[in-house]
Protein backbone atom coordinates (compact mmCIF):
# COMPACT_ATOMS: atom_id res chain seq x y z
CA UNK A 1 0.00 0.00 0.00
CA UNK A 2 1.43 3.44 -0.95
CA UNK A 3 1.96 5.95 1.85
CA UNK A 4 -0.98 8.20 2.63
CA UNK A 5 -0.46 11.83 1.59
CA UNK A 6 -3.01 13.94 3.49
CA UNK A 7 -3.20 16.78 0.98
CA UNK A 8 -1.93 20.09 -0.34
CA UNK A 9 -2.01 23.40 1.55
CA UNK A 10 -1.39 26.70 -0.24
CA UNK A 11 -0.60 29.79 1.83
CA UNK A 12 -0.32 33.05 -0.07
CA UNK A 13 -0.17 36.82 0.13
CA UNK A 14 -1.32 38.92 -2.80
CA UNK A 15 -1.90 42.54 -3.72
CA UNK A 16 -5.32 43.58 -5.02
CA UNK A 17 -7.37 46.71 -5.65
CA UNK A 18 -8.78 48.08 -2.37
CA UNK A 19 -12.40 47.99 -3.59
CA UNK A 20 -12.23 44.22 -4.05
CA UNK A 21 -10.72 43.82 -0.59
CA UNK A 22 -13.73 45.55 1.04
CA UNK A 23 -16.48 43.42 -0.52
CA UNK A 24 -17.22 40.46 1.77
CA UNK A 25 -20.58 39.82 0.08
CA UNK A 26 -18.98 39.38 -3.33
CA UNK A 27 -16.35 37.11 -1.78
CA UNK A 28 -19.08 34.98 -0.15
CA UNK A 29 -20.83 34.51 -3.50
CA UNK A 30 -17.49 33.70 -5.17
CA UNK A 31 -16.45 31.16 -2.50
CA UNK A 32 -19.89 29.51 -2.65
CA UNK A 33 -19.51 29.19 -6.42
CA UNK A 34 -16.05 27.65 -5.99
CA UNK A 35 -17.35 25.10 -3.48
CA UNK A 36 -20.06 24.11 -5.97
CA UNK A 37 -17.79 24.14 -9.05
CA UNK A 38 -15.16 21.93 -7.42
CA UNK A 39 -17.63 19.53 -5.82
CA UNK A 40 -16.66 20.36 -2.24
CA UNK A 41 -18.87 20.26 0.86
CA UNK A 42 -19.18 23.30 3.12
CA UNK A 43 -19.96 22.47 6.75
CA UNK A 44 -19.63 25.95 8.26
CA UNK A 45 -18.52 29.50 7.59
CA UNK A 46 -17.75 32.76 9.30
CA UNK A 47 -17.50 36.19 7.66
CA UNK A 48 -16.61 39.33 9.57
CA UNK A 49 -16.35 42.81 8.05
CA UNK A 50 -14.34 45.46 9.85
CA UNK A 51 -15.68 49.03 9.95
CA UNK A 52 -14.24 51.42 7.38
CA UNK A 53 -12.19 54.33 8.61
CA UNK A 54 -10.54 57.42 7.15
CA UNK A 55 -7.37 55.44 6.32
CA UNK A 56 -9.17 53.05 3.99
CA UNK A 57 -9.30 50.20 6.49
CA UNK A 58 -12.43 48.10 6.59
CA UNK A 59 -11.43 44.75 5.22
CA UNK A 60 -12.91 41.41 6.12
CA UNK A 61 -12.07 37.94 7.31
CA UNK A 62 -13.70 34.81 5.92
CA UNK A 63 -13.22 31.18 6.91
CA UNK A 64 -15.01 28.24 5.35
CA UNK A 65 -14.94 24.85 7.02
CA UNK A 66 -15.17 22.05 4.48
CA UNK A 67 -15.45 18.31 4.93
CA UNK A 68 -12.19 18.32 2.97
CA UNK A 69 -10.64 20.92 5.38
CA UNK A 70 -10.84 24.72 4.90
CA UNK A 71 -10.19 27.92 3.01
CA UNK A 72 -9.74 31.42 4.40
CA UNK A 73 -8.93 34.99 3.46
CA UNK A 74 -8.01 38.09 5.46
CA UNK A 75 -7.97 41.46 3.71
CA UNK A 76 -6.28 44.79 4.40
CA UNK A 77 -7.60 47.24 1.78
CA UNK A 78 -5.65 50.12 3.34
CA UNK A 79 -2.49 48.25 2.30
CA UNK A 80 -3.92 46.64 -0.85
CA UNK A 81 -3.11 43.17 0.54
CA UNK A 82 -4.78 39.88 1.34
CA UNK A 83 -3.61 36.64 2.87
CA UNK A 84 -5.24 33.45 1.66
CA UNK A 85 -4.99 29.80 2.41
CA UNK A 86 -6.67 26.64 1.23
CA UNK A 87 -6.05 23.09 2.40
CA UNK A 88 -7.91 20.09 1.05
CA UNK A 89 -7.28 16.63 2.33
CA UNK A 90 -6.89 13.64 0.06
CA UNK A 91 -9.21 11.41 2.08
CA UNK A 92 -11.55 10.61 -0.84
CA UNK A 93 -9.46 11.75 -3.84
CA UNK A 94 -6.30 13.63 -4.75
CA UNK A 95 -7.28 17.29 -4.37
CA UNK A 96 -3.98 18.95 -5.36
CA UNK A 97 -5.34 20.20 -8.70
CA UNK A 98 -8.45 21.52 -6.94
CA UNK A 99 -6.34 23.45 -4.40
CA UNK A 100 -4.34 25.04 -7.21
CA UNK A 101 -7.54 25.75 -9.17
CA UNK A 102 -9.20 27.51 -6.22
CA UNK A 103 -6.09 29.59 -5.62
CA UNK A 104 -5.83 30.61 -9.29
CA UNK A 105 -9.55 31.47 -9.40
CA UNK A 106 -9.21 33.53 -6.21
CA UNK A 107 -6.31 35.54 -7.63
CA UNK A 108 -8.32 36.20 -10.79
CA UNK A 109 -11.48 37.12 -8.85
CA UNK A 110 -9.68 39.73 -6.76
CA UNK A 111 -7.52 40.98 -9.65
CA UNK A 112 -4.59 39.96 -7.48
CA UNK A 113 -0.86 39.94 -8.01
CA UNK A 114 0.94 37.25 -6.07
CA UNK A 115 3.51 38.44 -3.53
CA UNK A 116 4.29 35.05 -2.04
CA UNK A 117 2.99 31.50 -2.24
CA UNK A 118 3.98 28.42 -0.31
CA UNK A 119 2.78 24.93 -1.16
CA UNK A 120 2.94 22.47 1.69
CA UNK A 121 2.44 18.79 0.97
CA UNK A 122 1.16 17.19 4.12
Q: How far is CA 95 from CA 15, 98, 113, in A?
A: 26, 5, 24
Position 1 scores a pLDDT of 63
- Whether the per-residue pLDDT at 3 is higher than 90: the answer is no
Cβ–Cβ under 8 Å, residues 98 and 38:
yes
Q: How far apart are CA 122 and CA 108, in angstroms?
A: 26
Q: Which DSSP letter does residue 91 get?
A: S
Residue 1 falls within a domain, yes or no?
Answer: no
pLDDT tens digits along 59-112: 999 999 999 999 999 999 999 999 999 999 987 788 999 999 999 999 999 999
List residues bridging with 37 in a β-sheet. Answer: none
Q: What is the pLDDT of residues 14-31, one digit of tens each?
A: 999 999 999 999 999 999
Domain count for the chain = 1
Whether the Cβ atoms of residue 26 and residue 16 lie closer than 8 Å to each other: no
15 within domain boundaries: yes
Apex CA 36: angle with CA 64 and CA 39, to 5°? 95
Query: Which residues sit opposite 7 in a β-bridge?
Result: 89
Provide mean pLDDT across the span 21-50. Answer: 97
Residue 91 lies in a domain: yes
pLDDT at 37 over 80: yes
Quick check: is 102 in a domain?
A: yes
What's the whole-model pTM score? Answer: 0.92
Indicate whether 77 belongs to any domain: yes
| Nearest one of 62, 52, 53 to 82, comparing CA atoms | 62
Q: Is there a contact between 60 and 22 (Cβ–Cβ < 8 Å)?
A: yes
- The answer to whether residue 2 sits within a structural domain is no
78: domain CATH number? 3.60.90.10
pLDDT at 4 exceeding the cut of 80: no
**Residue ranges making up the domain that contains 83:** 7-121
Amino acid sequence: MPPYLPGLHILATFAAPPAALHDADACRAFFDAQVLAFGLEKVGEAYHSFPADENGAGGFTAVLALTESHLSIHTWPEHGLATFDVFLSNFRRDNAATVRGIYAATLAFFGGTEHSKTEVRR
